[in-house]
Amino acid sequence: MNGRSIFAIIRKDLKVVSQNKGVVIPFIIVFLVFFVGIPALSAFVPAFVKGSGVSSGDAEKLITQMSAGLQQELSGLDLNQKVTVVFLVHMMAPMFLIVPLMVAITVAADSFAGEKERKTMEALLYTPTTDRELFVAKLLSAWLAAVAMAIVGFGVYTVAANAAAWSQMGRIFFPNAMWLVMIIWVIPAVAGLGISVMVLASARAQGYQDAYQIGGVVVLPVVGLFYAQVAGVMYFNIGVVLLLGLVIWLLDGLLIWLGSRGFRRSRLLGA
């Protein structure tokens, strides 16, 4: 494969996305809400616990109904600290996965459907690149954008979470080992899942909005993980994160293989 051709397409895609205010502004809003706003809420944990009308005994009872592994992790902490750790470390873990998914879906939706709307599809398809090079470039442009935003967001979230919860925790408590594994192992896989689905959808959709709506279904399983953790069915630990990443990587491989087999210039021109 021609690396220079692939890099040129990646650079073009990222430049187009960065100049699109309809894409950039929602990214900025999501970034500020997830990585700054939500951790800032942890500073109000003591006031919330005190003013919610829930007694300390009731709150402790709720915590004792959680999984044994989570209870062991929370042992030795007072009530405010337990609520802070559950909120910032465990509840936010599955929600964090939505960010790279959203970025991947947005950029990948623009990868082909956006080209059709801008009337640049034919010029792109007639460039001296093979079908495989074009397919790989479209995958990588969205994947790099999603992973980059997740990593930057993780750094901001780490600072914001420790700063906001310092009055409760009195120490740097975030990230833990589970989050590090999630960032290294699961985040790239989740980004790949969103991209592999969206490139297939956007290649067949008539416009950006059509492709985006189709690909938005990918977010539902992540939301399901959040509710499963809230309900106490599971909680994110290193074992769960490793298994989750493995399943997603295998699914990525299958979808990318299917996508590469069915990807043809002639099919795009006729779409």
What distance in Å separates the CA atoms of residue 84 and residue 30, rounded to the nearest whole number? Answer: 22
Share of the chain above pLDDT 70, in %: 76
pLDDT per residue over 26-79, tens digit each?
A: 889 989 999 999 898 877 766 665 655 555 555 566 666 677 777 788 888 888
Residue type, 168: Q
Closest of 87, 96, 91, 92 to residue 42, by C-alpha: 87
pLDDT per residue over 207-220, tens digit each?
A: 556 656 666 677 88
**Rg, the chain, Cα only:** 21
What distance in Å separates the CA atoms of residue 44 and residue 88, rounded to the nearest whole number? Answer: 13
Using the predicted structure, report yes or no on whether residue 149 has a pLDDT greater than 60. yes
Q: Which two tokens stand for residue 271?
A: 């779409």
Contact 252, 143 (CB under 8 A): no
What distance in Å separates the CA atoms of residue 242 and residue 225, rounded to the nearest whole number? Answer: 15
